[in-house]
Structure 1
Amino acid sequence: MLTERAAEVRDEVQPRWERPPSSRRVVARLVQFVGAASAVFSVLPPHHHRFGLLADMVPTAGLLTARVASAVVGVLLVYLGAGLRRGKRRAWQLALLLSLIGVALHLVKGGLVPMVFAGAIVALLVAKRDEFTADGAPRHRLRAFRACATFLSAGFVLGFAEIAVRVNHLEGRPGVLSWAGHAALGLIGVTGPVHFVSPIGGLTVSITTGAFGLLAFGAGGLLLLRPSTGGRCDGAAGQARLREVLDKHGDGDSLGYFALRSDKQLVWAPSGRAAVAYRVVNGVSLASGDPLGLPSEWPRAIGQWLTDCAAHGWTPAVLACGTQGGRAFQKAGLDCIELGDEAIVDVAGFALTGRPMRGVRQAVARMRRAGYTCQVVRQRDLPADTLAEAVACANALRDGKVERGFSMALSRLGDPADGDCLLVLCRDEEQALRGVLHFVPWGRRGLSLDLMRGDRTAPNGLTELMVVSAIEAAPGFGVDRISLNFAVLRSVFARAEELGAGPVIRLWCRILRAASRLWQIESLYRANAKYQPDWQPRFLCFPSARDLPRIAVAALRAEAFLPARADDAR
């Protein structure tokens, strides 16, 4: 009874992901609406919305600069909406500052309606200030300062130079300090003490300095709003700690070893016996696989991760977790959908006999008759020159320059720390290396496929020979299960082949086959199915359906199917 009660208490105190308050989303939408309205009003003809209070007090160049500045402020407010929805404190600060600037700009250029809108947004932001508490990235402050200083310096130098080249067209004899003051004031849209004989000269200087001033503050604001990527990844001590956890509790998830990637960060349960591995991509904290460590400590590790997400304004998401991990994330408040299935081969039950294995059997026999042989060996047992040859071969056979993979790829080969990894080296009759398979450990008695490279000029059956060789050699390494590739939405293809498949499944299957021309969805499923594996489902976990587009883009960037931003590279 005491044990059951303790379990209930743990479940009661487990942190859960709380959906952002609806009022915060409303504030974000209103700020975006006012920003869009401000941009529209700034390009309308002046007589449509001028009330003329300051029309005779502000020079024409100042009015033009104010109109351009109000348009830029409006666009920036629209951009700030995403940060406000995530509760970013810095987005709130910038939105408040820009709204105040917008009030002043609309007052200068004579925009009564947008000025009232901007003032209302100022009041709303002040009233809701307690809902915006998420931290940003400290290093972005320095970048923002550098960008702002660079544009301001360039604008000042160019404005000063334009005044200097027009020295013979100035009224009176203003000194160099007056030139500098005029250029500096022009950066904030204010007319300085220098007067030009020709109005075009003054207008040119005002436009140049004003444009660079807008660029400076706009670039600085955008950099301040760049999503945080968290702290630096754990060093050697963190890697050693993680390896200890994998040695003790690594049998559950075939993706556990991939948490050792250099671009993944770890958040640990207070006990230190469980962790969540993740990477922040474009404001999405993308975890992969099940939590690591002792399953009873998973809720605490997940709670720590969700707390970090809330503190930084990240959107939590989990890519390719298993059934047990999916249940744990679901209890923490995330929704789950099936993403696909992982092919797992039972070594003891695998055999090349029987009609279902006829294609694989024939391919393997054909390659062996052609003189192809495979060496299956632990990485630590390979001579240095052979390992270097394998690394060079894998790089040469890579499809493109980008190393793809995140959730089910280690993205390195030959690291001395990965001595337990298993390599399959396939050579032709002339002993030339034509293919490489790389498996990472899956607990004590399993392997998980990390890398598969084959020479496309080799005869058909190269991959089948390498996979079968690995399965046949597995008992000698104490391995009784091997995880092969992951098949996205495999169940759709399988159900479409069944008798009586409905029109919706058949239509969905046609769509996936069309997409397979780009991403090889169906071909990967067929390549796995030929080994008659057991299929284990993998899931995608997310807070709400509205977050799925951002999560999909983040996942594609992490897997290197889309270009990564500089801040996302680790």
Structure 2
Amino acid sequence: MRARWAERRTPQHRISTTSAGAQHGLSTGVPRCGLVWKALTSPAWLARIVGVVGLISFLSALLPAIRGRLDLVLDVLPAVFPAAADTGTLALGILLMVLSRALRRGKHRAWVLAVVLTAATVALHLVKGLDVEEATISLLLLVLLIAGRRHFTARPDPRSPRKVLSVVVLGPIIATALGWAWLAVDARGEEPGTTTWQRLQHAFLGLAGIRGPVQFVSDASDDRASVALVVLGASILIPLAVVALQPADGPHPLDAEQQRAVREILARWGKVDSLSYFATRGDRSVLFSKSGKAAVSYRVMGTVSLAAGDPLGDPEAWPGAIEAWLEEAQSYGWVPAVLGASDQAATAYHRAGLDALELGDEAILDVEEFSLEGRSMRVVRQAVSRCTRADLAVECHRATDLDEATWAELRRLADAWRDGPVERGFSMALDRFGDPGDDRSVVVVARDAAGRPQGLLNFAPWGDDGLSLDLMRRERDSENGLIEHMVVALLARCPELGVRRISLNFAVFRSVFARGERLGAGPVQRLTHAVLLWASRFWQIESLYRANAKYHPEWVPRYLCFRTSGDLARVGVAALRAEAFIVAPTWIQKIGPS
């Protein structure tokens, strides 16, 4: 079954799965040493090297110094200096390992801090015990950092209360643990019988320069521990200052003016994509093209700038909006990705340098062509007959036709019927139900003979003549087949509602289920099918496919767009987080936005 609007799709533009980066191969005429140097000064390799050097510094600070070398240092400097250098190296090693993640993203401030810390570690390695080997490694890293300066131009991320609070809370905890570890390893100057609890208290108080309960055999040992802990405490201020001073000029939820601009675009171009209306979610940001005729709707999840669906607006203006979005992602060092792009949009993103992978299929029903006749629709007919015999009546209303009392009841039931405490959805769902601004939405309610609601569906508008499924809830012990009963009732009412097409749920990896069950499926298809069946025990992958397939819809492919295959892991986690399949603990969610 093919709908009329399918002609807008461009199947002839198949999306290449070849990485865009492969188009920019290096010339074979470049000397090999030049290639190696270029690789070592790139953000990806410098991030790895910084992490390794940080680990080396951390371990070096925990290991005892070589006695002969330490004696040479003590002949020149007081004993407190090697002790302070020990804890300083310990702290800086931790900071370098933490910085490696930001360096991989090309962050300029991370590069500046890495240069300062690396230069400091060179001196500290020499002071703490004349560790020439570690100092030489740090010096080589410093040279690489300076040589790779041009790659680190990304702006800092928007300031987040969660990040600041995490540094304030976790900083002292980590510093106390490091101080305790240092006291436990270097226990030669402590009085016999010193306990772990005493060392822990002494480490915590020592961060602020306060004397703790640990007793030392000499004043020199006492001074050495005091200076070392103060240096460790001071090191907490470095990451705190970096996080606290980050400018809050990055993406933010839609303000009233942007909401108005988005809705103006939807009024004219909302028919292009069934997912366009979900751009009005409160957790989305938008970037407009210079002409203002198109925009990309997205959300930043960790280090990923995750766009959803097609760009909004005139398809001819999409390249300008995509370019603006990619430029912002590059300026912050974010990984750009798109979840649920159509054929046409995936082609536009591919032309802008992204790769694409078919993610699944969207189920589209054509109202005029839908029929319950035929053997293939027997399951749906039986479900409708069963619910009809159970006296379950279905009502279909535009949002503006319901009074506030009815809305209050439906909102309460929608929350009560939700599977779990978290509202899932991002690319194909709104983050609200019954909002006055959604006056074009359609609500389908099933009631029993006593008038009690048993299930509800909410559909967002898709242009002037389409609907896109947003919410699907039902009483847990309601009649089997209730959802089918509501969908069929809506299809019957569509002509008077002015609706010609309906978008149902999205079936992830739909083709795998369809092909994996066929006779003659290859071993790879069967293995993939088995893996997805196993995953369906935790996520409703197969059940969503079968729930849609029974209506025999038109399957419209949707794509995941990404920059390189190396980004897929991060993009996958970001998508699962955005869709609320991976959820942070409640106490973290209350701290602030990601």
TM-score by length of 1: 0.84
How far the C-alpha of 1:100 sits from its partner, in A, is 1.8
- Cross-structure match for 2:402: 382
SS in 2 for 1:54: helix
CA contact (8 A) 2:86 2:228 kept: no
Residues 457/138 of structure 1: CA separation in 2 closer, same or farther (3 Å cut): closer
Residues 430/57 of structure 1: CA separation in 2 closer, same or farther (3 Å cut): farther
Confirm or deny that 1:569 pairs with 2:593. yes
- Cross-structure match for 1:545: 565
CA distance in 2, matches of 1:307, 1:29: 25
Select the residue among 519, 522, 545 that pairs with 1:525.
Answer: 545
Select the residue among 55, 63, 67 that pairs with 2:86.
Answer: 67
Q: Alpha-carbon deviations, 1:31-76, whole Å to 9, x = none? A: 2222222223223331289465423455555534432331332232
How far the C-alpha of 1:150 sits from its partner, in A, is 11
- Cross-structure match for 1:82: 101
CA distance in 2, matches of 1:547, 1:131: 18
**Pairs within 5 Å for 1:478-557:** 478-557=498-577
Confirm or deny that 1:443 pairs with 2:467. no
- Cross-structure match for 1:129: 149
- The percentage of aligned residue pairs carrying the same residue is 47
Select the residue among 392, 399, 406 that pairs with 1:372.
Answer: 392
Residues 297/26 of structure 1: CA separation in 2 closer, same or farther (3 Å cut): same
Select the residue among 243, 263, 279 that pairs with 2:283.
Answer: 263
CA distance in 2, matches of 1:505, 1:189: 64
Select the residue among 103, 106, 119 that pairs with 2:125.
Answer: 106
SS in 1 for 2:437: helix
CA distance in 1, matches of 2:161, 2:69: 37
SS in 1 for 2:73: coil
Q: Alpha-carbon deviations, 1:151-206, whole Å to 9, x = none? A: 79xx99xx9xxxxxxxxxxxxxxxxxxxxxxx9x9759999xxx988547556644
CA distance in 1, matches of 2:368, 2:340: 26
How far the C-alpha of 1:460 sits from its partner, in A, is 0.8
Select the residue among 355, 380, 386 that pairs with 1:360.
Answer: 380
- Cross-structure match for 1:280: 300
CA distance in 1, matches of 2:527, 2:268: 46
CA distance in 2, matches of 1:371, 1:288: 40
The letter for the 1-side match of 2:493 is A
- Cross-structure match for 2:488: 468
Confirm or deny that 1:213 pairs with 2:240. no
Residues matched between the structures, number: 525
SS in 1 for 2:544: helix
CA contact (8 A) 1:196 1:202 kept: no
CA contact (8 A) 1:103 1:119 kept: yes
Q: Alpha-carbon deviations, 1:376-398, whole Å to 9, x = none? A: 00111101100111111101101
CA distance in 1, matches of 2:91, 2:158: 25
CA distance in 2, matches of 1:225, 1:353: 66
CA contact (8 A) 1:249 1:294 kept: yes
CA distance in 2, matches of 1:59, 1:425: 81
- Cross-structure match for 2:477: 457
Residues 354/149 of structure 1: CA separation in 2 closer, same or farther (3 Å cut): closer
How far the C-alpha of 1:117 sits from its partner, in A, is 1.4
CA distance in 2, matches of 1:362, 1:145: 56
Select the residue among 299, 312, 319 that pairs with 2:332.
Answer: 312
Q: Alpha-carbon deviations, 1:236-270, whole Å to 9, x = none? A: 11111111111111111100000000111110110
- Cross-structure match for 2:356: 336
The letter for the 2-side match of 1:501 is A
SS in 2 for 1:417: coil
The letter for the 1-side match of 2:593 is A
Structure 1: gaps of 5 or more residues: 1-15, 160-182
**Pairs within 5 Å for 1:144-223:** 198-199=218-219, 202=223, 205-206=226-227, 208-220=229-241, 223=243
Residues 476/311 of structure 1: CA separation in 2 closer, same or farther (3 Å cut): same
Select the residue among 258, 261, 272 that pairs with 1:238.
Answer: 258
- Cross-structure match for 2:57: 38
The letter for the 1-side match of 2:567 is D
How far the C-alpha of 1:26 sits from its partner, in A, is 2.7
CA distance in 1, matches of 2:501, 2:60: 66
CA contact (8 A) 1:229 1:568 kept: no
Q: Alpha-carbon deviations, 1:531-569, whole Å to 9, x = none? A: 111100000000001111111111111111112465883
CA distance in 1, matches of 2:347, 2:72: 64
CA contact (8 A) 2:87 2:228 kept: no
CA contact (8 A) 2:158 2:250 kept: no
CA distance in 2, matches of 1:367, 1:227: 57
CA contact (8 A) 2:158 2:249 kept: no
How far the C-alpha of 1:225 sits from its partner, in A, is 11
CA distance in 2, matches of 1:76, 1:49: 29
SS in 2 for 1:531: coil
How far the C-alpha of 1:350 sits from its partner, in A, is 0.9
How far the C-alpha of 1:107 sits from its partner, in A, is 1.9
How far the C-alpha of 1:415 sits from its partner, in A, is 0.8
Residues 318/408 of structure 1: CA separation in 2 closer, same or farther (3 Å cut): same
Residues 474/392 of structure 1: CA separation in 2 closer, same or farther (3 Å cut): same
Select the residue among 23, 27, 43 that pairs with 2:46.
Answer: 27
CA distance in 2, matches of 1:361, 1:377: 23
- Cross-structure match for 1:47: 66
Select the residue among 449, 463, 487 that pairs with 1:429.
Answer: 449
SS in 2 for 1:287: strand
The letter for the 2-side match of 1:435 is G
CA distance in 2, matches of 1:316, 1:44: 42
The letter for the 2-side match of 1:562 is I
Residues 140/342 of structure 1: CA separation in 2 closer, same or farther (3 Å cut): closer
The letter for the 1-side match of 2:456 is V
Residues 426/143 of structure 1: CA separation in 2 closer, same or farther (3 Å cut): closer
CA contact (8 A) 2:158 2:246 kept: no
Select the residue among 345, 348, 351 that pairs with 2:368.
Answer: 348
Q: Alpha-carbon deviations, 1:202-236, whole Å to 9, x = none? A: 56644654443344435555x47999892322311
Residues 106/454 of structure 1: CA separation in 2 closer, same or farther (3 Å cut): same
SS in 1 for 2:552: coil
What RMSD, in angstroms, separates the aligned Cα atoms of the two structures? 3.4
Q: Which 10-residue stretch deviates more, 496-505 or 28-37?
A: 28-37
CA distance in 2, matches of 1:150, 1:396: 37
CA distance in 2, matches of 1:522, 1:453: 18
Confirm or deny that 1:251 pairs with 2:263. no
- Cross-structure match for 1:96: 115
Residues 224/74 of structure 1: CA separation in 2 closer, same or farther (3 Å cut): farther
SS in 2 for 1:517: coil
The letter for the 1-side match of 2:234 is G
Residues 485/19 of structure 1: CA separation in 2 closer, same or farther (3 Å cut): farther
Q: Alpha-carbon deviations, 1:315-374, whole Å to 9, x = none? A: 100001100000000000000000000011111111112111111111111111111111
TM-score by length of 2: 0.81
The letter for the 2-side match of 1:297 is A
- Cross-structure match for 1:5: none
